[in-house]
Amino acid sequence: MRPSSGWRRCVDSATSRLAIVVLLGLGLAACGGDRDGTAEDVATSFYAAIAGADGAAACHLLAPATRDELQQTTGKTCAEAILEEEVPEVTQPIDVQVYGTAGQVRFGTDTAFLAKFRDGWRVSAVGCTPSAGDRPYDCTVAGG
């Protein structure tokens, strides 16, 4: 016995709705991803901006508290101040660790710490070297 055409329309309609829901879900998942890339991408872009003397681009990648701290302590705009800081030149990352909304990207000559915000990853501290004291790292640029 063949199903009626009404039943087939119902199944086709349900299948179409399911396909639309799946496609919308995939589209929303893509939209909800990191708009500015991964922690590694953001750290690498930050150092590239510093190397290219593009203070504005580097500041765009800083966490808000880090940007504010830099401006307050120097009395200059972020774009000016960040280029005067002792941020080491780096090559490729050698280790990337992400723990939920916190990330660490280690390079041969520096370690960057990042935080994930609504609009993506941002650099919260750079110029970080392991410390022998009670703090694990000393950073030349860090937020409050």
**Which pLDDT tens digit goes with each residue over 21-68?**
333 333 333 333 344 479 999 999 999 999 999 999 999 999 999 999
What local confidence, expressed as pLDDT, does residue 133 receive? 72
Mean pLDDT of 66-92: 95
What local confidence, expressed as pLDDT, does residue 144 receive? 65
Classify burial at 80, counting beta carbons within 10 Å of its beta carbon; exposed 0-12, middle 13-18, buried 19 or more.
Answer: middle
In 3-state terms, the chain is what percent helix, strand and coil (to 5)?
A: 45, 25, 30
Residues 27 and 49 occupy one common structural domain: no
Distance, in Å, from the CA atom of 77 to the CA atom of 63, rounded to the nearest integer, reads: 15
Tens of pLDDT, residue by residue over 100-116, are 999 999 999 999 999 99
- Distances in Å between the Cα of 135 and the Cα atoms of 62, 103, 132 are 22, 17, 8
Question: Mean pLDDT for the chain?
Answer: 80
CATH number of the domain where residue 96 is located: 3.10.450
Residues 95 and 69 occupy one common structural domain: yes
- Owning domain of residue 91: 39-142
Residues 61 and 100 occupy one common structural domain: yes
Query: Which strand (E) or helix (H) includes residue 36?
Result: none
